[in-house]
Chains A and B, each alone.
Chain A
Amino acid sequence: MTERLFYILLIISLLSCQNEQVDINALIHTQHIQAPLQLNAGSPLLPYPATSHSHSQQYLLSGINGTIELDYDAKSESIILPKPINEKAGVYTLTIIRDQRITHIRTLEIKAKAAQGKALSYIGPKSVPYNDQNGVMVTSALTDQYNNMLKGQYGINYHQLSDNTYQINRQSINHEYYTSKTLYVSNDKVALVGIEADDSYSDELFFEGSSGCPVSAEIYVEEYYNVADGTQTFQVHLSEILDADDAPVETGTYMRAALYDAEQKLSANYQFICINGTAQITMVNPNQQGDYQVKVSACGDELAASAELSFEADFLEIPKQWISSHLLKVGPIVSRLNQKLQDGTPVLLQFIGCQADETIYYKLDDGICLINTDEIIANCKTTKLSVQIRSIKDTISNPNE
């Protein structure tokens, strides 16, 4: 008997696993889409008649920022909108759930209040060049006291101080949430812009204009050591650095100074900053003798101002000596100031008459350079050699000849 019961139970449990039916009718649920509800921002109560309310009813309000469950206040017959929600304008969906079924979906629109707060203002660059043709674009969005952006027919006045007078530029927010206005800064040091939205004062922007690009300057080179030693320095002074309006360029403006040789080949390049319309640049003497020119530029354009300089050779001859038939000693090279030339100064050994002329680079060490010519001469079979240090070049006879 008990055994039979066991098998009956077993069969029942197995059958119960197999016969779980799906209720297709469970799909049906009711939704009522009705006209949108409207409230002004800051209104804490959404009227909702008690006759439509039940204790098992859940009120969910969803918008782009999220979803929150709302309470019902029977006394005021309203759904309570907590402060952060009722202050945030926008379109929400109110979903009413009863007994785990969505029974109503309503659109709730919380409207922004009148613009009485300040406008959101965005300024691109904090400073713009005087009379710059691009100007500066101010993008503004009107907001209410809760920081809700407003849309509609608003007139925006931009009051700009220029040459001690106000200029008024008017711009409309035409069914959009924002307006933008390009403002041009005159030749004043400071530009003050007031933004006014119809009757409500909004915001005041205060930004500095900057000078335009430097276009002229006075140039002066201090007395300098005119030897092309590559180590001594000389001072270049710029004064009266002015923009196109003859206004001194402001501190912090970047410029460039370059040293060119007689063939207008760039020898050195420097970047410097103007201070109070002046600048001082320390430049290093070139290491090749000859005539030079200092030129200055800004914003990609060269200024007319330039200075001429001239440098003589640092030493007059290259001492050289064959230590053996294969080993050439160059130096010691001593400058006009009776100092050994800087370690690492390039020494160029040139071969003439090989299949292709060839140059091998060596470096001075303690004023001298030892060159093993064995392999070179064996490979090249040349008899013509020369040594060059800076601009001084000298030929060498082959001891094996």
Chain B
Amino acid sequence: MNEYRSHIIWKILLAAAFILSLLVGSRIYSHYNTGADLMSIYQSGVGLSQRLSNLTTWNENDLYRSHPDIAQAISKTLNEAWYWLDQSYNQKSSIELSSYFEKGLLSHLDFMNESSVGARSSLSHQLELQHVSLDKSVVVVKDHAAEIIYNYTTNEEQYIPSKIDTIAYTAIMVLINGEWKIKNWISERVGQIEKPKESLSQKALLLNKISQIKGINYYPAEYPWLLFWKNFNQDIVERDFQLMSELGINTVRIFLPFADFKDGEVLARNTANLSLMLDLAEDHNLSILPTLFDLPVGYTINIYGEYVSQLKHILTATAHKPALLAWNIKNEPDLDFRIHGLEKTLDWLKYMIAKAKAFDPEHPISVSWSSANHLSILSDELDYLSFHMYLPDENWADKINDLRASLDKPIVLEEFGLSTRSGINNVTGASEESQHDYIENCIMMADEHHIPWMLWTLHDFKQIPDGVFGWKPWIKAKQKRFGIMKADGRPKKVYYKIKNLTEK
């Protein structure tokens, strides 16, 4: 009997150890797939200058126009000085600072950095050249708004919300042996900063357009997720836009993975392809809803600058395109609450929403929640609200109606769909018939309640790249079969129904 008990206890212990290892393993996996690797890339200095220069705006006064070479040189010095100052602060030691600061300031910076608390990152600068000496060896530059984000969390279990300080400072810089150095600087209160005005009339027009979305989430059958931008193919995109147009779709949601819009050649190529995609959409009378910062990014303070740089680049490069409908800042960030923490995630979202509005005051901004239960989060900051629905819920439309009334914002059913995959753990699976009925029901319900909708997705996929859904083959297999068309292009049953429904 004792032997039997001992056997059972061992069984329990082994099972508990197995569960624990799964939990720990998944945490480690999550950690390394949600941004940890980005830090190392950032610190490697790849494209650092390009990213930093994106964070600086110049007042192009007469001095600036007369001395563009000096402005460029001191901009580089200031940007790098701030970058290394932040790094020193975050590592509690002075590194590389003597290249940027004169001795008088250095001793003070050393004292501050050795005693620093938490983490910080400088995010943007508004520079004005105020004085250049005759021999071009002395300049005075004013930063009208240096934006710095601080986080004082020392215990990850008790997150302290980040705070942003905006300060002005005047710096005297001197040219020593061909290098500009900051001789002295002093901070002061920020004057009136002119904020970009929101174009409410333009937004109202676009929000009206959003309320009429009959849309689809898009990746081509051949190159979904991480494969899309790497293998961007104009012919495939045009073919698919033609299909969507014929199907009566008016809006296409696309995804811009953070890693595919980093710096250098990749950024230039993919920005050009994004512009091309917007032009192609215009040709097919389609609107585009890009989702930024896709796939895991992480929300640490140290890399905010990189996010802002990317955001500014993409928004300013494409905001003028007629086919652009709105910006989605992040896909399902509520799934990150558990991994990164609620407040850290929301801190990041709030900041990026505000920045997106500043970089593009005309287009509505949203975030997509994985569940309608989270629609009230940040609803004040967002121009319209989006949610995803993959679980059956007969009363969903009524709930959305109620939320729409209480939150007073348009709400978009941004993703819904049903996979037609069947397998070992899902023997019956969902038939094309079931998919047809489910989607028909959702669309009819949405139309009845005037809820804009976006279907997941156009195609079944030929492959699912690694690094999106983990290693589980049954998940990958399911994700392959959400299309209303098969991977070889043959329509599933629901395809014809959608055509009927959009024609109504």
Residue B187 lies at the interface, judged by CB distance under 8 Å to chain A: yes
Contact check, A139 vs B138: say whether CB atoms are below 8 A apart. Answer: yes
Provide the B441-460 mask, 1 if CB < 8 A to any CB of A, else 0: 00000000000000000000
Q: How far is the CB of B371 from chain A (nearest CB, A)?
A: 11
For residue A25, which residue of chain B has the nearest CB?
Answer: B342
- Docked complex Cα distance between A36 and B338 (Å): 38
Within 8 A of A (CB), among B100-117: 104-105, 108-109, 111-113, 115-117
Indicate which residue in A22, A36, A69 contacts B117 across the interface (CB closer than 8 Å).
A69
For residue B157, which residue of chain A has the nearest CB?
Answer: A100
Contact check, A100 vs B134: say whether CB atoms are below 8 A apart. Answer: no
For residue A139, which residue of chain B has the nearest CB?
Answer: B138
Within 8 A of B (CB), among A64-117: 64-69, 84, 88-93, 95, 97, 100-102, 105, 107, 109, 112
Contact check, B8 vs A2: say whether CB atoms are below 8 A apart. Answer: yes
Residue B266 lies at the interface, judged by CB distance under 8 Å to chain A: no
Contact check, B117 vs A149: say whether CB atoms are below 8 A apart. Answer: no
Contact check, A102 vs B131: say whether CB atoms are below 8 A apart. Answer: no
Contact check, A141 vs B112: say whether CB atoms are below 8 A apart. Answer: no
Residue A337 lies at the interface, judged by CB distance under 8 Å to chain B: no
Residue B468 lies at the interface, judged by CB distance under 8 Å to chain A: no
A-side interface size class:
35 or more
Residue A328 lies at the interface, judged by CB distance under 8 Å to chain B: no
- Docked complex Cα distance between A88 and B158 (Å): 32
Provide the A298-333 mask, 1 if CB < 8 A to any CB of B, else 0: 000000000000000000000000000000000000
Residue A177 lies at the interface, judged by CB distance under 8 Å to chain B: yes
List B contacts of A100 (CB < 8 A).
153, 155, 158-160
List A contacts of B108 (CB < 8 A).
65, 84, 88
Within 8 A of A (CB), among B115-152: 115-118, 120, 130-131, 133-138, 140, 146, 148, 150, 152
- Docked complex Cα distance between A17 and B186 (Å): 52
Contact check, A63 vs B163: say whether CB atoms are below 8 A apart. Answer: no
Knowing A9-B12, A64-B169, A66-B109, say if A148 contacts B186 (CB, 8 Å).
yes
Residue A356 lies at the interface, judged by CB distance under 8 Å to chain B: no
For residue A23, which residue of chain B has the nearest CB?
Answer: B342
Contact check, B140 vs A178: say whether CB atoms are below 8 A apart. Answer: yes
Indicate which residue in A20, A22, A58, A137 contacts B134 across the interface (CB closer than 8 Å).
A137
Contact check, B342 vs A22: say whether CB atoms are below 8 A apart. Answer: yes
Indicate which residue in A27, A58, A134 contacts B343 across the interface (CB closer than 8 Å).
A27
Residue B293 lies at the interface, judged by CB distance under 8 Å to chain A: no
Knowing A6-B11, A67-B120, say if A124 contacts B137 (CB, 8 Å).
yes
For residue A93, which residue of chain B has the nearest CB?
Answer: B165
Contact check, A141 vs B172: say whether CB atoms are below 8 A apart. Answer: yes
Indicate which residue in B111, B168, B334, B376 contacts A84 across the interface (CB closer than 8 Å).
B111
Within 8 A of A (CB), among B166-197: 167-170, 172, 174, 183-189
Contact check, B116 vs A66: say whether CB atoms are below 8 A apart. Answer: yes
Contact check, B172 vs A22: say whether CB atoms are below 8 A apart. Answer: no
Knowing A26-B342, A137-B135, A149-B170, say if A67 contacts B112 (CB, 8 Å).
yes
Which of B15-23, B68-76, B232-240, B308-316 sits within the interface?
A: B15-23
Contact check, B19 vs A67: say whether CB atoms are below 8 A apart. Answer: no
Indicate which residue in B130, B152, B376 contacts A97 across the interface (CB closer than 8 Å).
B152
Provide the A1-22 mask, 1 if CB < 8 A to any CB of B, else 0: 0110110011001100100101
For residue B165, which residue of chain A has the nearest CB?
Answer: A93
Contact check, B189 vs A36: say whether CB atoms are below 8 A apart. Answer: yes
Q: How far is the CB of A142 from chain B (nearest CB, A)?
A: 11
List A contacts of B131 (CB < 8 A).
139, 178, 180
Residue B337 lies at the interface, judged by CB distance under 8 Å to chain A: yes
Q: How far is the CB of A3 from chain B (nearest CB, A)?
A: 6
Residue B243 lies at the interface, judged by CB distance under 8 Å to chain A: no
List B contacts of A64 (CB < 8 A).
146, 148, 167, 169, 185, 187
Knowing A23-B342, A62-B150, A67-B118, say if A95 contacts B163 (CB, 8 Å).
yes
Knowing A63-B167, A66-B113, A178-B131, say if A120 contacts B184 (CB, 8 Å).
yes
Contact check, B342 vs A65: say whether CB atoms are below 8 A apart. Answer: no
Indicate which residue in B136, B186, B338, B376 contacts A149 across the interface (CB closer than 8 Å).
B186
List B contacts of A24 (CB < 8 A).
342, 374, 376-377
Contact check, B12 vs A178: say whether CB atoms are below 8 A apart. Answer: no
For residue B350, which residue of chain A has the nearest CB?
Answer: A27
Provide the A322-350 mask, 1 if CB < 8 A to any CB of B, else 0: 00000000000000000000000000000
Q: How far is the CB of B225 from chain A (nearest CB, A)?
A: 26
Residue B89 lies at the interface, judged by CB distance under 8 Å to chain A: yes
Contact check, A176 vs B130: say whether CB atoms are below 8 A apart. Answer: yes
- Docked complex Cα distance between A180 and B120 (Å): 35
Residue B465 lies at the interface, judged by CB distance under 8 Å to chain A: no
Contacts A14-B19, A137-B133 known; 10 new A-B pairs at CB < 8 A: A84-B112, A91-B167, A91-B187, A122-B183, A124-B135, A124-B136, A124-B137, A148-B186, A177-B186, A180-B131
* 11 A-B contact pairs sorted by A residue (CB < 8 Å): A24-B342, A66-B112, A67-B152, A90-B187, A93-B165, A124-B133, A124-B134, A135-B134, A141-B184, A147-B184, A178-B130
Closest 9 CB pairs between A and B?
A66-B112, A124-B135, A90-B187, A137-B134, A100-B158, A139-B138, A122-B138, A2-B8, A137-B133
Residues of chain A at the chain B interface (Cβ within 8 Å): 2-3, 5-6, 9-10, 13-14, 17, 20, 22-24, 26-27, 29, 36, 58, 60, 62-69, 84, 88-93, 95, 97, 100-102, 105, 107, 109, 112, 120, 122, 124-125, 134-137, 139, 141, 143, 147-149, 151, 176-178, 180, 182
